[in-house]
Amino acid sequence: MERKEYYEILGVTRDASFQSIKEAYRRLAFEYHPDRNPGNAWAVERMKEINEAYAVLSDDDKRGRYDRLRQEYGPSAHDRFRRDYSDNDIFRGSDINQVFEEMARAFGFRGFEEIFSQAYGHGYRTFEFRRPGVFGKVIIFGPGREPRTDQELPQPSGLSRVLVKLAGYAVRRMVGLGASPSEADRYAILPLDPKLAEEGGRVTYRDTTDSKEFVVTVPAGIRDGQIMRLRGGGRNAPGEPVGDLYLKVEIRKSLFHKIRNYLKS
């Protein structure tokens, strides 16, 4: 039986970043897309391997589980992984559907529904893919430099209603927007681990006021106190354009820093 290795399937290293994994997947998905390989059954099977590998490696929890199995079982990791994860488990929360729709719009390929129905049968409809989110510009400003990056936001979510208002007041004053919040905007604090702030990566922000969620890509080197503005990440208030989401970065202090600050106080 052929052993599958997700990193080898995508052609990425074991320490590849999320961005590298997504770029590799997009390249391979375009290369083996059924509309570019009509009648090629091998290309369809190759595409299914690529889809599975990306769905696992682009999800922090699934990737972590797979990596632990690799360390423990080596070449048998994939078989062990598939004992616990069905197709539905693997594709739950993936943005593969959005990638296929992007290619359909850009190159005139068939849409996601038709492609997946052909490859997986009607059972694919049980796969819980991520619903299309908000696309906008993340602008980061405040103390220190001002990096900018494009960011995709799946459905939003964070703090209690009172804390959101307080955070919003502080964030607006810091950004110079005044103290009166817009009904369409969101405001909150985004706690980050020091390592994530230094190296960059993805973090989930949840807003418990309406049970929504954002996956935010944090640029490497972001500093404590900087503000991230996610365009289009706010509320859709009646009669107003969709607002923005303002997140003030708070870098969590390690125990060492907490003790040092305490002794200095």
DSSP lists the bridge partners of residue 188 as 247
Backbone angles phi, psi at 218, to 5 degrees: -95, 120
> How far apart are alpha carbons 65 and 163 in whole angstroms?
34
Q: What CATH homologous superfamily does 6-126 map to?
A: DnaJ domain (1.10.287.110)
Confidence label for 5 from pLDDT (cuts 50, 70 and 90): very high
Q: What is the pLDDT of residue 222?
A: 86
The four Cα atoms 246, 251, 252, 253 give a dihedral, to 10 degrees, of -150
Beta strands in 182-226 (DSSP E): 186-192, 201-207, 212-218
Question: Bigger pLDDT: 141 or 130?
Answer: 130
Confidence label for 13 from pLDDT (cuts 50, 70 and 90): very high
Confidence label for 56 from pLDDT (cuts 50, 70 and 90): very high
> How far apart are alpha carbons 256 and 180 in whole angstroms?
38
- Percent of the chain scored above 90 by pLDDT? 28
* pLDDT for residue 262 is more than 60: no
245: number of CA atoms within 13 Å, CB side? Answer: 32
Contacts of 176 by beta carbon, 8 Å cutoff, 6+ apart: none
* Beta carbons of 228 and 190 less than 8 angstroms apart: yes
> How far apart are alpha carbons 232 and 242 in whole angstroms?
6
DSSP lists the bridge partners of residue 249 as 190
Q: What is the pLDDT of residue 227?
A: 84
Whole-number Cα distances in Å, 164 to 160, 208, 210, 250: 6, 10, 12, 15
* Beta carbons of 19 and 28 less than 8 angstroms apart: no
Q: What is the pLDDT of residue 183?
A: 64
Contacts of 251 by beta carbon, 8 Å cutoff, 6+ apart: 191, 192, 193, 194, 197, 223, 224
> How far apart are alpha carbons 61 and 55 in whole angstroms?
11
Q: What is the pLDDT of residue 11?
A: 96
pLDDT tens sequence across 71-120: 999 889 999 999 989 888 898 888 888 888 888 878 888 888 888 888 88
> How far apart are alpha carbons 23 and 41 in whole angstroms?
24
Contacts of 2 by beta carbon, 8 Å cutoff, 6+ apart: none
pLDDT tens sequence across 176-232: 444 445 567 778 888 888 888 888 887 777 775 666 677 788 888 888 888 888 777
**Residue spans per domain, the chain:** 6-126, 134-256
Query: Which residue in 32, 80, 30, 34 sits closest to 56, CA to CA?
Result: 80
Question: Bigger pLDDT: 254 or 233?
Answer: 233
Give the pLDDT mean for 33-43: 92
134-256 CATH choice from 3.30.420.40, 3.40.47.10, 1.10.540.10, 2.60.260.20: 2.60.260.20
Helices first, then strands: H and E counts in the chain:
11, 7
Q: What's the Rg (C-alpha) of the chain?
A: 21
* pLDDT for residue 145 is more than 50: no
* pLDDT for residue 156 is more than 50: no
Give, for 230, the enclosing helix (H) or strand (E): strand 227-230
Q: What is the pLDDT of residue 116?
A: 86
> How far apart are alpha carbons 245 and 229 in whole angstroms?
6
pTM for the model: 0.52
